[in-house]
Structure 1
Amino acid sequence: MLKYLSTVFLILGISGAALAQSAIRGTVTELGSGEPIIGANLILMGTAQGNATDLNGDYVIRGVEPGTYTIRVSSVGYITVTEEITVGSSDLELDFELELTSASLTSLEVFASRSDLTTPVAFSDVDQEAIQAQLGSRNLPEVLNITPSVYSTGQGGGSGDARINVRGFSQRNVAVMINGVPVNDMENGWVYWSNWSGVGDAARSIQVQRGISNVNLAVPSVGGTLNIITDPSQNEAGGSIKFETGSGAMNKKTLQLNSGLVNDKWAFSFVGVRKEGEGIVEGTWADEWAYHFAASYQLNESNRFDLFALGAPQRHGQNLYAMNTATYDRDYALSLDGYDAAAADIHWEKGRFFNANVSGVSNTYDGNQYVGDGWVSASIQNRQNKDFLNERENFFHKPQVNLNWFSELSDKLTLTNVLYYSGGRGGGTGTLGDIEWDYSHNQRVADWDATIADNDPNGESNGILRNSRNNQWTIGDILKLSYQATENFELQAGLDWRTAEIEHYREVRDLLGGRYYVETRDPFNPNYRAGLGDVVNYNYTNTVDWYGGYVQGEYVGDKYSVYATGGISSIKYSHENFFIAENGSPLTRESDNIAGYQLKGGGLYNVTENTGIYLNVGHISKVPIFDNVISDFNGAINEDPENEKFYFYEAGVRYRAPGGQFGFNANYYLTDRRDRSFTRGVQQPNGDEGLINISGIDQMHSGVEVETSYKPNNWIRLDISGSYNLWEYQNDVSATYLEDQGDPGSAQNIDLYIKDLKVGNAPQAQLAYILGMQPSNNFDIQLVGTSFYRHWSDFDPISRDDPSDRAQTWQAPNYTVFNLHLNYTLDSILEGTNLFLNVFNLLDETYIQDATDNSRFNGYDGDHDADDAEVFLGLPRRYNFGIRVNF
């Protein structure tokens, strides 16, 4: 097959007797093999009319009036062709033979373990057209709220500060993979979306695999897996340039270039992005770059190499402190059930765009800052703005480079290998030492001028701004061998190796009027005078070594398909602390190898040509994260860390109407989570940081998910999806609370009473509805609505130490938000040019998107109702519009 992959062409055959009534019938097959292409699209007059949803590549479009039309045939991984056809009064028979556009995309599908209609798992695809139409320069996860049991918010509104929750699990337990490579943090599983701000501009598709998924790597796919594939190098020369502007003084420019196929061997593509803005919320300015480079080389008929490099050097102001609702909007707060009017009197209204992490400073203050530039290193610079200082800022650059090798060793044996590197330099900012705080109106905001006045201009600074640095590198390799034992049975085996080193330290960012800061925690250099860029407070280096392997078998027949996967993994951690002395040297700790495993499998049976049912089960023994094995702060090591256990059960049904006008997917799932452990930093009201370690938590997550699609004619389509879930804690637990992270003797045991509380931080019921209309060949309208219900707030477990307090956490009010997306093609005026407009929160709804119960900082009387919660409001109505020119 590979001998065809370097050549891009299409043979289109049209045959059949003339003149019958308005139906188009045909098949879509692969050139050279005659094999059907599953999931191809037939597009008539610019509107999708039918899909090859059965298993033999057939499609039919009914009710087409006689006339001349533009027809387009496409499928993921194949060239898209546009052709003019004439439909008479009789059926028109079409036979399409499509050639692969790029072997790069084919190999990426293999690397990424993507699901299709033969895979017995719940998944949703968001294609490139939907991403381009709906994303509108938002954080990439925010386009995924249209899928069941998926909840994403921008939290405080900072660029790249999004988070995502799938089936009630935070992104620590959601595997995020880009071109088949996991990008979750090696220490704790978190994903920082500001590191991938350019991926949305280069993404070809995103597949959300909910639950255990069929990904065979040992990755944290408990809630689900986000499987992102970016554009490979293209075989057609050309490109595009896009200009965007929007709310918050946002300006963005995107350039895409494709070399086309050079000498039937080489192809290159490049995407570059520049984004700047003041931000909608106070102080959430953004200064970002992003790049994506892809190259491919066809060595011979059996071997191909692909190179990907992407990254997003950036700086942005953050809003990390949620507030009492009345701080943002007094009238809205008083409209909430249970909100005491007296609470509004102590939480003075400061407006919807208030940010407690930014405050004014005299423009006569001319102190420099040691600032991360987002590219390689930090340097001494002027501050971002002369009139204010950000307490919280993020700066980081995390490039990722993949070298993929795709090889056909024989007709039956295929090898894929990806060698990858991911580096990262940067961190976030905060305060250190004695800062003067303004507690007016019950909110803590830094008083920079008072702090500067309190510091000695000729000597010591009592309080400073610091950078918390996280410099890291990861090298890994993923090797897969696939053996096509028979026409229906494939056997696959793979190895996964990763190693990482992460430096953690704090450094002086801004002396706030003084000349130096006295560092007292370094035993090797006591009481030294630290200047800009000098290390303070803590300094340690962690390493993570990972090994994994798996075996998977898959059988795909005419009526049914089954798969089974077994995998093992081993992880080892080490810690070297340069601020703790042990026998005259920095303290070192090393864990044993900790083993984990996964077992999963499932089957799908096609009851009829259009209806299939499936079942999958699984069990994961997940290795603990770094913090549950070694303490970063005192070197304490857990000699017997316990793995978390997950048990998965899922059943579903898929249906596609014979004419393609209607289809639906429905499934039920149950995820039993046992022995959950986590460590969480706790900030005291005085600003000191404590640490809580909780273990032995059991949770139950279950729910029903549905997706439907209806297309009554060639210019309108309605998609509706929804989910109804039940997520609860199953038991009470004990915790260890370390009040002073530098003093192991401050630890105390606490019993926490959380049984039967709802798992919060995401709505447990939701609906999404997309109305797509195409009134003309060059005008596309999409109205997207999302409704969220049964949203119990998150809570701090340490607040649940009273056995008499069994009250449920506060439930945030239900809300619905509409977004409008317009796209107009100017082909009749300027070929290859599109105008687009996105209006988010079209009706300007005020709603709570994130909430924490019984806030220690912003609560009123501690009885788990509206006046005790701290929240982030959703952003008000805002817009994004621009022009894209293709060439």
Structure 2
Amino acid sequence: MKKLLTIAIAVLLLPLFTKAQFTISGSVSEKTNQTLLPGANIVLKGTGKGTRSDARGRYELKNLKAGRYILTVSFIGYESQQREIEISADQTADFDLVQSAFLADEVIVMATRATEKSGTTYKNISKSEITANNFGQDLPFIINNTPGVVVTSDAGAGVGYTGIRIRGSDATRVNVTVNGIPMNDSESQGTFWVNMPDFASSVENIQIQRGVGTSTNGAGAFGGSLNIQTSAPELAPYAEVNSTYGSFNTLKNTFKVGTGLIDNKFSFDGRLSRIQSDGFVDRGASLLKSYFLSGAYHGKTDLLRINVFSGTEKTYQSWNGVPESRLRGDIQGINDYIIRNGLNETDAANLLNSDSRKYNSFLYKDQNDNYQQDHYQLLYAKQLGNRFSFNGALHYTYGRGYYEEFKNDQEFSAYGLPNPVINGAPVETTDLVRRRWLNNDFYGATYAFGYKAASNLNLTVGGAYNEYRGKHYGQVTWSQISSALNNFDHYYDGDGNKNDFNIFAKLAYNPVEKLSLFADLQYRRLKYDITGDDNDLLPLNIHDKLNFFNPKVGATYFVDPKSNIYASLSLANKEGNRDDYVNANVGTLPQPERLYDVEAGYRIKHTDFSAGVNVYGMFYKDQLVVTGKLSDVGASIRQNVPKSSRIGVEFDGSYTLSRYFLLNANAAFSRNKIKNFSEYIFDYDTETEVVNNYKNPDISFSPDAVVFGELVYKPLAGFAVALQSKYVSKQYLDNTQNESRKLNGYWVNNARLGYDFSFKGVKNMNIGLLANNILNKKYESNGYTYGYLGGGSRTDENFYFPQAGTNFLLSLNVKF
């Protein structure tokens, strides 16, 4: 914290003497009937300064130095305008916007997005912000600098398997939609960004809702939501080539092309991407390929869009992490680990001789994860007069793939195979290679009707019906000793089928000019069936039906056109994931989780600064957590804990220090507790489970503090340098708050440089440099632990995922 204080003081002492002197003010209205447009965006291009028109359609930009500026004004459903203005005195600039010749793509996601009138906590991320941070890393790393977000990478460099937590909640509790369509896997409930490589290159904007947020489609949001809108069309034809190269032989090649608007009605866009990286850890290589195709018809009152996108990944497994003894360089501890875990000579040599931070336990050359996921979306929006609107979508996702692994000394009986007889004697074990497959189909429909009953009353009714059909099966593709199984036979087959229906109604009402009331009621019904055999050959016959009612209410009071106060109360319910059902004792089902979320905050936006501060309380009933308890067949299971909570305060702000300097900062401080927690640990001496009880321990992987700061320097048009600093406090690996089982806090600094320019024949050329971890901090962002009793003492096996030291990514983007 002392270092953070030093940086804060240094930032505050930066030059503040460059005072601007003049003001631009005016109004924004609709050209046809001169109706004023409140909420229009007004931006001084290249300066970071901007504002919105107030309730009377008026705007004001103060403290501007003399000079020449480009003023851009935009409003959903209207064509943007740009005007060059020379300032040597106060100026008045009024804008009359013309209604767009086509319906804006934003209407597709509006039903599931929060607004200033929703009383919820959210952050919008624009296309320009996404582009500035997109060097080929997975999308979680691109939004890493937003409040309360912590990201991690198995391979240590942000390419391959990556994860994200919001307010301490993992990916299974973060709802993700693309154009309102659910992306979370229906069974595991996570979102696997490795299956969507370079997707950020096809994204228009993202809204991150923290907490429960507004009603959306798919799994319940218990930590946050990522609401993603794919790219809108450009007015003119274009072609774009983007290449990135950097540390660990990371290489990204992206080609984009678009027709622009054809006859003001049609547009076609496409992207082709390839990313490869050796990864920071040994053999942590990834080869990722993807494409995105989109075609649309744009009418004055309707929009029809077809999106087809796909991702293919081949990733060498690095998901076991590094044992603590190897990470600390404890030779005695390493040898003890080898003995405890029965490592063979080859694996023991790998552990002893590897780099302490790059160790990967896998040595088999084809220890890969292979998966392909294809997405098809048909989106339609219609404006039905001045009061009614509709948008809906049909979607289909087809996923298929496997992970391959070498396993030594496996019992034939574990694969349902008879023991072969050699020289008259039965052989019980063999080395083998197996593949575990997942093939799935996910399809359904989403819809939303909007009704503007009056100027102060809006109603939205929407919902979705989705079906998931998953097939789980395994193959033995090679065995040292031949068996009765050929390469294509399945040694287990299981099915997971899920039907998910929801309907919601949202009401926004302004009883007086400054007060907005919001109500959001959702009913969700799901049916989940798991049948066949599990990968351990145990029979599965699990059936569950759940009905959830998720109400939300909120209010926003506008202190003035530039600031407001908001508050909301939300309730959400969520089912367990596949493992919770499969690993539960026979005849029992996991109880669904319930969350009561209270949010309150203050937002302000002026010409030179914007800021928001909010407090929240998230109170859980029956939250599912790992306790160490084993099922009746020895599998680790999550259990419901009666009461737990997350209470915190968050800040997010931006301040234009001068025309050259911009400061961005956010912070999240929280207290994350389980009221009463029981840890179960197996005692091999007595062959019983020992119970340890804890009062008010911290929830695992929930840092008390996440702080980010960024100083941007723009010495000339098109050129910017950003210095970024992020601090994440310590996190515990389990729910016992034990100091011997934790991730240490870390403070990481990055630098980003970008330069945009153009010349004849080239619309724009951008050169970018991202320098990560410039102070070469050694830190771990994820891990796991398990323990047991034996020989009269406790043994804990802690594993960590080290992240890369100083590394670089250099990009070149050319747009024609």
TM over 0.5: yes
Task: Give how far 1:823 is off.
Answer: 0.9
Contact kept, 8 Å, 2:524 with 2:547, in 1: the verdict is yes
- Structure 1 counterpart of 2:776: 844
Of 827, 836, 840, the residue aligned with 2:758 is 827
Q: Deviations 1:222-277 (Å, cap 9, x if unpaired)?
A: 11101111103333221311111111112211111111222332211111101123
- Structure 1 counterpart of 2:15: none
- Is 1:464 matched up with 2:432? yes
Distance 1:286 1:279 in 2: 7
- The verdict on how the C-alpha distance between 1:463 and 1:758 changes in structure 2, with shifts beyond 3 A counting, is same
Q: Deviations 1:748-803 (Å, cap 9, x if unpaired)?
A: 877453442211224220110111121101211111211112x22222x7xx7xxx
Letter in 2 for 1:173: R
Letter in 1 for 2:701: N
**1:658-807 superposed matches below 5 A:** 660-677=607-624, 690-733=635-678, 751=691, 753-789=693-729, 791-795=730-734, 807=738
- Structure 1 counterpart of 2:418: none
Q: Deviations 1:535-573 (Å, cap 9, x if unpaired)?
A: 22x211111111111222112463121111111111112
Of 563, 581, 587, the residue aligned with 2:518 is 563
Distance 2:98 2:662 in 1: 26
- Is 1:200 matched up with 2:200? yes
Task: Give how far 1:878 is off.
Answer: 0.9
Task: Give how far 1:852 is off.
Answer: 3.4
Distance 1:886 1:735 in 2: 59
Task: Give how far 1:738 is off.
Answer: 14
- The verdict on how the C-alpha distance between 1:354 and 1:855 changes in structure 2, with shifts beyond 3 A counting, is farther
Distance 1:263 1:608 in 2: 43
- Structure 1 counterpart of 2:16: none
**1:600-679 superposed matches below 5 A:** 600-629=552-581, 631=582, 636-638=586-588, 642-657=591-606, 660-677=607-624
- Structure 2 counterpart of 1:338: none
Distance 2:584 2:216 in 1: 35
Letter in 2 for 1:813: N
- Is 1:487 matched up with 2:455? yes
- Structure 2 counterpart of 1:354: 358
Letter in 2 for 1:550: F
- The verdict on how the C-alpha distance between 1:702 and 1:70 changes in structure 2, with shifts beyond 3 A counting, is same
Letter in 2 for 1:470: L
Distance 2:57 2:712 in 1: 25
Secondary structure, counterpart of 1:591 in structure 2 = strand
Distance 2:288 2:771 in 1: 23
- Structure 1 counterpart of 2:14: none
Task: Give how far 1:401 is off.
Answer: 1.3
Contact kept, 8 Å, 1:480 with 1:492, in 2: the verdict is yes
- Structure 2 counterpart of 1:319: 318
Q: Which moved more, 1:145-154 or 1:406-415?
A: 406-415
- Structure 1 counterpart of 2:17: none
Q: Which moved more, 1:23-32 or 1:607-616?
A: 23-32
Contact kept, 8 Å, 1:126 with 1:207, in 2: the verdict is yes
Q: Deviations 1:565-584 (Å, cap 9, x if unpaired)?
A: 111111112233158999xx
Q: Deviations 1:402-439 (Å, cap 9, x if unpaired)?
A: 11111233431212111111110013233445169xxx
Task: Give how far 1:122 is off.
Answer: 0.9
- Is 1:594 matched up with 2:546? yes
Contact kept, 8 Å, 1:53 with 1:656, in 2: the verdict is no
Contact kept, 8 Å, 1:105 with 1:232, in 2: the verdict is yes
- The verdict on how the C-alpha distance between 1:344 and 1:580 changes in structure 2, with shifts beyond 3 A counting, is closer
- The verdict on how the C-alpha distance between 1:679 and 1:817 changes in structure 2, with shifts beyond 3 A counting, is closer
Contact kept, 8 Å, 2:627 with 2:680, in 1: the verdict is no
Distance 1:101 1:812 in 2: 54
Q: Which moved more, 1:222-231 or 1:52-61?
A: 52-61
**1:205-224 superposed matches below 5 A:** 205-217=205-217, 219-224=219-224
- Structure 1 counterpart of 2:119: 120
Distance 2:171 2:812 in 1: 33
Secondary structure, counterpart of 2:93 in structure 1 = strand
- Structure 2 counterpart of 1:15: none
Letter in 1 for 2:593: E
Distance 2:123 2:723 in 1: 19
Distance 1:278 1:844 in 2: 19
Task: Give how far 1:94 is off.
Answer: 3.9
Distance 1:761 1:65 in 2: 47
TM-score normalized by the length of structure 1: 0.79
Contact kept, 8 Å, 1:107 with 1:406, in 2: the verdict is yes
- Is 1:409 matched up with 2:401? no
Letter in 1 for 2:658: N
- The verdict on how the C-alpha distance between 1:681 and 1:306 changes in structure 2, with shifts beyond 3 A counting, is farther
- The verdict on how the C-alpha distance between 1:150 and 1:102 changes in structure 2, with shifts beyond 3 A counting, is farther
Contact kept, 8 Å, 2:197 with 2:275, in 1: the verdict is no
More strand by share: 2
Task: Give how far 1:709 is off.
Answer: 1.3
Distance 1:738 1:486 in 2: 68
Letter in 2 for 1:60: E
Letter in 2 for 1:474: F
Contact kept, 8 Å, 1:793 with 1:852, in 2: the verdict is no
Contact kept, 8 Å, 1:621 with 1:643, in 2: the verdict is yes
Contact kept, 8 Å, 1:793 with 1:811, in 2: the verdict is yes
Distance 1:107 1:679 in 2: 41
Distance 1:876 1:689 in 2: 39
- Structure 2 counterpart of 1:363: none
- The verdict on how the C-alpha distance between 1:772 and 1:429 changes in structure 2, with shifts beyond 3 A counting, is same
Q: What percent of counterpart residues are identical?
A: 20
Distance 2:809 2:443 in 1: 38
Distance 1:534 1:31 in 2: 69
Contact kept, 8 Å, 1:662 with 1:709, in 2: the verdict is yes
Task: Give how far 1:68 is off.
Answer: 3.3
Secondary structure, counterpart of 1:129 in structure 2 = helix
Task: Give how far 1:98 is off.
Answer: 5.7
Task: Give how far 1:189 is off.
Answer: 1.2
- The verdict on how the C-alpha distance between 1:327 and 1:752 changes in structure 2, with shifts beyond 3 A counting, is same
Q: What count of residue pairs does the alignment treat as equivalent?
A: 761
Secondary structure, counterpart of 2:635 in structure 1 = strand
Letter in 2 for 1:883: L
- The verdict on how the C-alpha distance between 1:818 and 1:736 changes in structure 2, with shifts beyond 3 A counting, is closer
**1:9-24 superposed matches below 5 A:** 22-24=22-24
Secondary structure, counterpart of 1:398 in structure 2 = strand
- Structure 1 counterpart of 2:468: 500
Distance 2:380 2:650 in 1: 38
- Structure 2 counterpart of 1:881: 810
- The verdict on how the C-alpha distance between 1:484 and 1:162 changes in structure 2, with shifts beyond 3 A counting, is same
Secondary structure, counterpart of 1:642 in structure 2 = coil
Contact kept, 8 Å, 2:555 with 2:567, in 1: the verdict is yes
- Structure 2 counterpart of 1:232: 232
Give the gaps of 5 or more residues in structure 2: 1-19, 338-351, 412-421
Task: Give how far 1:831 is off.
Answer: 4.3
Task: Give how far 1:39 is off.
Answer: 5.5
Contact kept, 8 Å, 2:515 with 2:556, in 1: the verdict is yes
Distance 1:726 1:531 in 2: 54
Distance 1:535 1:606 in 2: 63
Letter in 1 for 2:623: R
